[in-house]
């Protein structure tokens, strides 16, 4: 039985509780709303109390900070992050080193990676490949959209990124296109197109593997039902990683590479005077 504490940005943490209660191997030790106290089964918990009394920590709060994540890892707690944390490249590197020292298992939830369709093929994607993605551009949230997609690509490819090319077709603020070409050490290529004029029906995520099959993954984003399944898949993966007992960092290494790539893309878009960043 693994005792798991919940750090939540939601006052009730209802969804987090329902998700974790589906696993018999987890026992919820307490819930803390960040910057507040919560009473659970008659007990009062602070964040520090929760970490002291838990083997693992489930964080479901917007943009968890470096200090919060570091505090969890320093307690040698295993860590499940439901949201992409707000980290600099240097902070991410520090957390990777700290996690390796503490033996913490860390998993960062990514809805695209933990779909049923992707998990079925993920272990077979071990050859040179071409990943092509076309999605509507979320202008108001472009940096988060980029980071989420890059995290999916890095988690799928799992090799060193060698080169990033950035192209823009800037018609108007609403209908421009950002086109990215990522080249990896293995020879794999990822091509990402984000456009204001693209409709959901024109979206796709496709993977072509050398001397192998072609795979098409859902590109329309998870609905309430499928998102719950992706969360359950991720938590099952987290549980299995803990039971293996290995000092591994799941997704933080990929996050480090995704942040570096996102920063480079942002700088190149600024150099190109891309109005999509306005």
Q: Any idea where the domains of the chain sit in the sequence?
A: 2-104, 116-221+259-277
In the CATH scheme, what is the homologous superfamily, with its name and number, of domain 116-221+259-277? Dihydrodipicolinate Reductase; domain 2 (3.30.360.10)
Blockwise average pLDDT, block size 10, the chain, 278 residues: 87 84 92 60 66 91 88 89 92 92 89 88 85 89 90 92 90 73 96 87 88 80 77 91 66 91 91 70
CA angle 97, 183, 254 (to 5 degrees): 25
Q: What is the CATH number of domain 2-104?
A: 3.40.50.720
Please state whether beta strands 43-45 and 38-40 pair in parallel, antiparallel, or not at all (unpaired): antiparallel
Per residue in 192-206, pLDDT (tens digit) is 999 878 887 889 999
Strand partners, 206: 132, 216
Does the predicted TM-score (pTM) go above 0.85? Answer: yes
| Residues present in the chain in total | 278
């Amino acid at each position: 039985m693994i005792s798991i504490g919940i750090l939540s940005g939601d006052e009730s943490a209802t969804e987090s509780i329902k998700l974790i209660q589906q696993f018999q191997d987890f026992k919820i030790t307490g819930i803390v709303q960040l910057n507040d106290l919560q009473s659970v089964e008659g007990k009062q918990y602070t964040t520090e109390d929760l970490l002291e009394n838990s083997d693992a920590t489930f964080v479901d709060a917007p943009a968890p900070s470096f200090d919060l994540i570091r505090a969890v890892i320093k307690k040698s707690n295993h860590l499940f992050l439901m949201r992409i944390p707000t980290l600099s490249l240097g902070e991410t590197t520090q957390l990777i080193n700290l996690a390796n020292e503490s033996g913490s298992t860390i998993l960062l939830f990514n809805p695209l990676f933990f779909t049923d369709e992707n998990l079925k093929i993920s272990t077979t994607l071990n050859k040179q490949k071409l990943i092509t993605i076309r999605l509507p551009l979320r202008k108001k949230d472009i940096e988060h959209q980029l980071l989420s997609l890059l995290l999916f690509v890095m988690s799928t490819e799992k090799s060193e990124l060698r080169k990033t090319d950035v192209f823009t077709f800037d018609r108007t603020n609403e209908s421009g296109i950002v086109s990215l070409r990522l080249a990896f050490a293995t020879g794999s290529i990822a091509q990402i197109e984000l456009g204001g004029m693209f409709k959901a029906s024109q979206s796709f995520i496709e993977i072509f593997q050398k001397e192998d099959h072609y795979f098409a993954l859902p590109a329309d984003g998870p609905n309430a039902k499928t998102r719950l399944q992706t969360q359950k898949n991720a938590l099952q993966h987290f549980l299995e990683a803990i039971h293996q007992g290995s000092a591994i960092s799941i997704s933080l290494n990929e996050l480090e590479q995704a942040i570096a790539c996102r920063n480079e893309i942002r700088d190149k878009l600024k150099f190109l005077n891309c109005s999509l960043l306005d």
